[in-house]
Amino acid sequence: MSAPRTGWVVLALVGAVAAVYAQVLGFEFVRYDDPDYVLENPAVRGGLSLAGLRWAFSAAHASNWHPLTWLAHMLDVELFQLAPAGHHGVSVAWHALAAVLCFLALRALSARPWESAAVAALFALHPLRVESVAWVSERKDVLSGSAFFALLLAYARYARAPSAGRYALLLACFALGLLAKPMLVTAPCVLLLLDFWPLARLRAADGRLNAKVWLEKLPLLALAALSCAATVWSQRAGGSLYTLEVLPLDARLANAPVAVLRYLAHFVWPSELSYFYPHPALVAARATPWTLGALSALGGVLTLSALAWAVRRRSGAFFCGWFWFLGMLVPVIGIVQVGEQALADRYAYLPLVGVQLVLVFALGELARRQTRVRLPLGAGAALALVACGVASARQARVWHDSEALFTHALAVTEQNYPAWVGLANERAARGEVAGARTAYEEALAIRASYAPALYGLGLLEQEHGDAERALALYRRASEALPGLAAAQLNLGMLLAERGDEVEAAQAFERVLELFPEHPDAHYDLALLLLLHRQYEPAAEHLEAAVRANPGAAAAWEKLGEVREAQGEHRAALAALERALADPTRTNAARLAAWILASAAEDELRDPQRALELARRAVQATQRRDPPTLEALAAALAAGGDFERAVAVQEEALRLLPPNQQGAARERLELYRRDAPYHHAH
């Protein structure tokens, strides 16, 4: 294919993606992982920073370790803040790049440009790609997809002219892909399939097995093993890795072939697609998961696999494409179960390229042999691509907002308990208490141990006065999913409110066992310690909280209070200044004003700044808070305005109960003698 034609194909792919997905620029974030990934994630909301970089490589947040994806979300925030259009637009651009790289990689591997263009077009436009593109939280798919096709392109160049530099490039592409999404761990096996067809590298010129082809995969397999270890650690830390007690091995094995055939069915006829497909073993009790349907599916998968093996010499594309499809599904087919889904459209983002390879190259071969079918095949292919584009545009609208997403899922699937919870959360956010409660209970009627439903209903009951029921629901949620930190934290707070401080502390400590840097758990534990005036241990937890979340103004404010109580005025001021980045932190303004006006250390006193902060705090409290008025009086006295200091101090005294007026009266006498108040060292 000439350079101009290549350029036109690239432009056509980019234009097709833009035409289908331009609408997503007007979509919202959805209440499904987007809060965890972006909206309520302090590390991501802070944009790009050294602290964010460290967090991205060390955190197992949302049960995932994919630092490149976290950095991509941070860059979006840096560029677009929290305006969803920018985040969506970047995802569309990455998908367009993946489609272009798919074309270039397959063309370089097969030397069949038009078949490669058709596979890339189908990849760009098929409705099963919508979830990966229109959902901001699935940025990892389009990132890893681009890295994967870049890996294939690099491998095509390396295979034809090996060199250390070209090998280093393909290693880098693979590493970047794993850092975006660990699903690429089976990519080295795809490279081996490509060595069989179309590269024909498995055997040397003398017919013997080419050992080099196998040895060159070892560094890639080592990277894959490291990625697997990091993934298991992050999933286990987040409580998303299901045990055999929750989901037995036979249920997992029985669902796997069914899922494979459902992916194929969705590829052929992509209707009634949903963001979540419930796992049958979690919604229906069965004597055995090996139903007639599961056994038939297993037979179908084995038959197709045997056929692919049998015709491998005559149809390398069938052999390569079929086992590409199966091999890339292995990490997400449910043998190691992560989450509660039976399958997911996003998991098909790269695996189904193998099936497309089988279909398109088979039709291409037919067109080469039978010239009379070229025109009808070309017309049929064009119509199929147009139909895919129209269907994708329609499916994309499902992701317009949260309610559209959840109501669509409930319309096209049965027993979809996560969709009921999503709808309940939406109703709760709008203040529709009865509707939210009904939706939570619908979810629990399907799956009684579903932790997000238990937590959501508990939050609803807590907000509307039934603390005891909320406590029971939080307990059940924490037992069902220990990694659901929000349930543990709310459980701890309710226990603390009713005086069960030991059990409350245990709830916070359980969160820290799973997430050692969880800022809210550190903060809540510090508050418990402060009830018993354990200042230094409390300060240590507060410092951990602000390290994990430097924007946590409440933690900075509390740390300032603790350091002031310990007499460490310099450290207190440093913490309070960080808290004052949030203009609503009235207590931080009051306490900083007090220290700046009355510190024993001459170098810390700043009457002008103290007066500014004290006035801000007095205005916020509408002159009804005695300590705030006292801070203003101290600031006025520090600046030499003793007449007004006396008047404000008298105002504070009038608001204080008689048994709390002693120290305030002593300060009043100082101001009457034209003397400022200073702390003793």
8 A C-beta contact, residue 35 and residue 45: no
Q: What mean pLDDT is predicted for residues 413-424?
A: 97
> 479: pLDDT confidence band, cut at 50, 70 and 90?
very high
338 three-class SS: strand
Which runs of E-coded beta strand occur in 471-580? none
Q: What percent of the chain has pLDDT over 70?
A: 98
Cα–Cα dist 143/456, whole Å: 32
Q: What mean pLDDT is predicted for residues 196-208?
A: 87
Q: Express each pLDDT in 252-274 by its tens digit.
A: 999 999 999 999 999 999 999 99
Query: Helix 374-396 and helix 351-369: axis angle, to 10°?
Result: 160
681 pLDDT exceeds 60? no
What is the per-residue pLDDT for 236? 73
Beta bridge partners of 209: 203
Count CB neighbours of 570 within 10 A: 13
Residues 6 or more apart whose CB falls under 8 angstroms from that of 531 comprise 501
Q: What mean pLDDT is predicted for residues 76-84?
A: 97
208 pLDDT exceeds 90? no
What is the per-residue pLDDT for 242? 62
Which runs of E-coded beta strand occur in 587-658? none
287 three-class SS: coil
What is the per-residue pLDDT for 122? 98
Q: Express each pLDDT in 488-529 by its tens digit.
A: 999 999 999 999 999 999 999 999 998 898 999 999 999 999
Distances (CA, A) of 290 to 235, 263, 276: 27, 19, 22
> 430: pLDDT confidence band, cut at 50, 70 and 90?
very high
DSSP 245: T
Q: What are phi and psi of 343, to 5 degrees?
A: -160, 175
Per-residue b/e over 236-274, b at no fewer than 16 CB within 10 Å? ebbbbbbeeeebeeebbbbbbbbbbbbbbebbeebeebb
Q: Express each pLDDT in 545-573 by its tens digit.
A: 999 888 899 999 999 999 999 999 999 99
Cα–Cα dist 520/527, whole Å: 11
Distances (CA, A) of 530 to 199, 427, 525, 533, 562: 68, 37, 9, 5, 8
DSSP 278: E
Report the range of poorest mean pLDDT among 190-199, 227-236, 388-397, 530-539.
227-236
What is the per-residue pLDDT for 680? 62
**H helix or E strand, kind and range, residue 663:** helix 662-672
Q: Express each pLDDT in 105-137 by its tens digit.
A: 999 999 999 999 999 999 999 999 999 999 999
8 A C-beta contact, residue 444 and residue 458: no
478 pLDDT exceeds 50? yes
Q: What mean pLDDT is predicted for residues 39-67?
A: 90
Share of the chain residues as helix, strand and coil, in percent rounded to the nearest 5: 75, 0, 25
How big is the chain by its Cα radius of gyration, in Å? 31
What is the per-residue pLDDT for 390? 97
Q: What is the DSSP string of 340-362?
A: SEEE-GGGGTTHHHHHHHHHHHH
In 111-186, alpha helices (H): 113-125, 130-134, 139-160, 164-180
> 240: pLDDT confidence band, cut at 50, 70 and 90?
low
Residues 6 or more apart whose CB falls under 8 angstroms from that of 556 comprise 546, 575, 576, 578, 579, 588
Is the pLDDT higher at 147 or at 62? Answer: 147
Q: What mean pLDDT is predicted for residues 205-212?
A: 82
The mean pLDDT value of the chain amounts to 94
Q: What mean pLDDT is predicted for residues 372-376?
A: 86
| Residue found under tokens 């669509």 | 408
For 407, the token pair is: 């109501």
Q: Express each pLDDT in 140-174 by its tens digit.
A: 999 999 999 999 999 999 999 999 999 999 999 99
DSSP 25: G
> 4: pLDDT confidence band, cut at 50, 70 and 90?
confident
Q: What mean pLDDT is predicted for residues 29-53?
A: 93
8 A C-beta contact, residue 633 and residue 670: no
What is the per-residue pLDDT for 209? 84
Residues 6 or more apart whose CB falls under 8 angstroms from that of 179 comprise 66, 67, 68, 69
Asked if the bond preceding 198 is cis, omega within 30° of 0, the reply is yes
Cα–Cα dist 89/274, whole Å: 22
- Beta-carbon-side half-sphere exposure of residue 475 (alpha carbons within 13 Å): 10
Cα–Cα dist 98/308, whole Å: 27
For 224, the token pair is: 């894959």
